[in-house]
Structure 1
């Protein structure tokens, strides 16, 4: 199989895997499969974050490159007498993107396909049509005729629910559509960085991390960073693409295909000036395109990493992505590949001297 096909297969397996916060097993197994061949040591924290270590020079600076395994989804809270499922959102959802969407309910007997139910417009009063349905009034229909039948399907409170959207290469083959780009693309970047560091001399201990529970509070990155005690941290995640109708430059300016984003500010962290300038200097040196990003309403695992231990110089590097926190999102393959290239070049130029300079710059 061609190298490009292998990469696409990895991206498909990562995004097709199901895993909401607290139930990331499927995604962790896929990431482990793809990153283990390039790691010198595989460990985890006690919440389930995957940690793959690759040593350039033993005892060198610890560089943590973190994607998160979890995707936004739902959790079943109760089954009503007619077999419809009530749920809570797990992660940030906007109610207008939820109705009539297909989902997988992950039961002890396997996945069950359902749909988030909605009323036909024919029976809605004119005023009600103008109002979004509140999440508390939504339900999932799995085709059960009663609570008892739903229970025979294996459904029980606490079961995870994930969106359905198969990985798809679009007509423009650079554009890739899938669920869970947030943030399996970060996991893919961590895998590819370790892969491309194979047989490359560098002065660091590099940790490729698949963190758990990012979408509910940056939790796995906190416990993984506590275990690793990094000297330099990177969160690799998705960012906002502003190149679609209705999005103003004041809201988001990045375009897909124009390079990864260097996050200068978000709700969870002010980026580390020394590390930010170190990374952008390397991008300029190697002609790697990049864009700047700021997000007043979101955060990344960098927010937890930079507060670990005595504090860690940390930066978020993101891939601009359309329609995040919905059932289906789109990103550009070149942005993924340039993010990997940038991280590899950064690792190659990090050492004890440059880390000290970054830290106290």
Structure 2
């Protein structure tokens, strides 16, 4: 962790455990279920049941819906998104009897580090351990896991390393477990172009630029990653509040620099990363999904199908669906969650 990140972290200590913003607490009521499984234009549904719990190194903010005694589903967002990617998925699942947990990842929304001395680490193993700690804190032994982007990578890791905690899994864009070693290999020029922001974040100019312009930066990513998604300003602004987290920039920058081997992770995760570097197979029942208009870098389904050695199915979702598949096609995602445990 660079001195610059440490300096920022210490300057923000006074606010790290501050009270939640009015925007975070004043979200609209639970979303109405969407009948369509495809991109339906502007929506600004939200959650009205937000909670907080200490789990591992974090105080985790999360939304919850559905009966307490229902089978548990944990849904994980990615960058640059937040829990509202599942604002219309959650009520669909809750109505079907599931207990749905949707946490803010480290560096987003209501989630805060408990200590100023904890590195603002964005490496893949750390985020997965966060979710295991959350399950422990909530006394959840096993859950159906679903996610996209960082969230897909995280549910992949949990399913691979702790299959006893994962009943089944839905993963947008398939198998996303990576390693620093694998990321050293250059890609074809067209593929490298798609990672422009990763290289930007590798520079101090990129750090300063993201810190100063995270709102407009992330809105640009939304447009490029989902070029056919007709989201309105209210939908983006609701999620943009989560980027004001005092640790957001440090966690995001560390995530992308760690992937390129430009910064180190924490030693406590070394053994987990060694196991992940072997690209372990996933044995739990799995449905992978892909939108037909995903503008973000993503592998082809044929490239990862063999990584799933248990019961497995893949679903292509049409209708102009981009990278943020759960928010753009909530019914299709909710259906996959309900179906995967029955594979």
Q: Shorter-chain TM-score: which interval?
A: 0.3 to 0.5
Name which one, 1 or 2, has greater alpha-carbon Rg: 1
Task: Choose between structure 1 and 2: higher helix proportion.
Answer: 2
Task: Choose between structure 1 and 2: higher strand proportion.
Answer: 1
